[in-house]
């Protein structure tokens, strides 16, 4: 499988800023040809690569005032190394987190899914439940919304679907985490967010939006929730998003059997 991905983010920096980008594919992809660049008013801007957990690669930029453009493209051939859960991971990813309040969703999770013992059936059931209880509405949620607010609003975007999925799975004592990805087949094209759950000794993708085939996804960042996986974090200063373009294509777009366990490759 060959996948080509690219992104371009244009920002207006109005106060000197410390920025962290997460746009490069995970270091778990071993067969990757890529290019990444940052410019300020058309001139090259230096950046510092910062490694994070699970192969996540961050890029830290110290930007003066001006028009900043971050650009990235990569071609990925073959798959990625399987991510194995450590003992620490299996603790961290069962805890409540900022956007996945699993402790408050325990009664809901138990009532809806408490009788399901088969792992594949459980993941499919949670995915279907979230997908049918929420409506995908662009611009309907705030960056500060967590799983509880999403459930009450009954609408959201991909990160909201992923947060609710993660929270319900953790409430069932299933380790779950959020992954930002490039998603061939996604319409409209954008950065995408999905959940991963640890069952049967592997991390398996759960995407309640069903907007892209799970087997084609390309991992960017992995963490507890969106706090660990946002494509841009403003540490200090002030920036405004001017424009963003994302592209992801695959040589063959497969079908996706939602009842099957699927790992990200």
> Could you report the per-residue pLDDT of 155-180, keeping only the tens digit for each?
999 999 999 999 999 999 999 999 99
Same domain? For 13 and 100 the reply is: no
Residue 103, pLDDT score: 96
**Across 26-30, 98-102, 148-152, 225-229, least confident range:** 26-30
pTM above 0.85, yes or no: yes
Residue 56 lies in a domain: yes
> Is pLDDT larger for residue 77 or for residue 23?
23
C-alpha pair distances (Å), 124 with each of 67, 206, 242, 254, 264: 44, 8, 38, 19, 16
Same domain? For 63 and 101 the reply is: no
Return d(Cα 138, Cα 56) in angstroms, integer.
Answer: 27
pLDDT band of 32, cuts 50, 70, 90: confident
Task: Please count the CA atoms within 13 angstroms of the CA of 37 that sit on its side-chain side.
Answer: 8
Backbone angles phi, psi at 168, to 5 degrees: -65, -40
The residues, ordered by sequence, that sit 6+ positions from 235 with a Cβ below 8 Å of its Cβ are 17, 18, 19, 20
Return d(Cα 51, Cα 53) in angstroms, integer.
Answer: 7
Same domain? For 223 and 133 the reply is: yes
Residue 207 lies in a domain: yes
Same domain? For 63 and 108 the reply is: no
Same domain? For 119 and 177 the reply is: yes
Same domain? For 69 and 128 the reply is: no
> Is pLDDT larger for residue 265 or for residue 31?
265
Count structural domains, the chain. 2
The pair of three-digit structure tokens given for residue 221, joined into one six-digit string:
């960042």
């Amino acid at each position: 499988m060959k996948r080509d991905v690219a992104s371009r983010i244009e920002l207006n920096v109005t106060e000197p800023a410390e920025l962290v980008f997460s746009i490069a594919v995970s270091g778990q992809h071993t067969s990757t040809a890529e290019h990444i660049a940052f410019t300020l008013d058309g001139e090259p801007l230096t950046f510092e690569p910062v490694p994070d957990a699970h192969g996540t690669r961050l890029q830290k930029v110290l930007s003066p005032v001006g028009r900043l453009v971050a650009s990235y493209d990569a071609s990925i051939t073959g798959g990625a190394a399987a991510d194995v859960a450590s003992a620490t991971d299996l603790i961290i990813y069962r805890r409540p987190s900022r956007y996945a309040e699993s402790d408050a969703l325990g009664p809901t999770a138990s009532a809806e899914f408490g009788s399901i013992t088969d792992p594949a059936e459980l993941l499919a059931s949670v995915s279907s439940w979230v997908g049918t209880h929420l409506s995908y509405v662009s611009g309907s949620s705030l960056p500060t919304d967590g799983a509880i607010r999403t459930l009450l609003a009954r609408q959201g975007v991909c990160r909201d679907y992923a947060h609710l999925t993660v929270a319900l799975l953790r409430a069932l004592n299933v380790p779950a985490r959020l992954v930002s990805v490039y998603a061939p087949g996604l319409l409209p094209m954008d950065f995408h967010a999905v959940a991963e759950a640890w069952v049967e000794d592997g991390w398996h993708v759960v995407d309640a939006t069903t907007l892209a085939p799970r087997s084609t996804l390309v991992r960017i960042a992995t963490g507890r929730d969106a706090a660990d996986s946002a494509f841009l974090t403003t540490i200090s200063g002030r920036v405004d998003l001017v424009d963003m373009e994302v592209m992801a294509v695959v040589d063959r777009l497969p079908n996706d059997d939602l009842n099957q366990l699927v790992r990200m490759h």
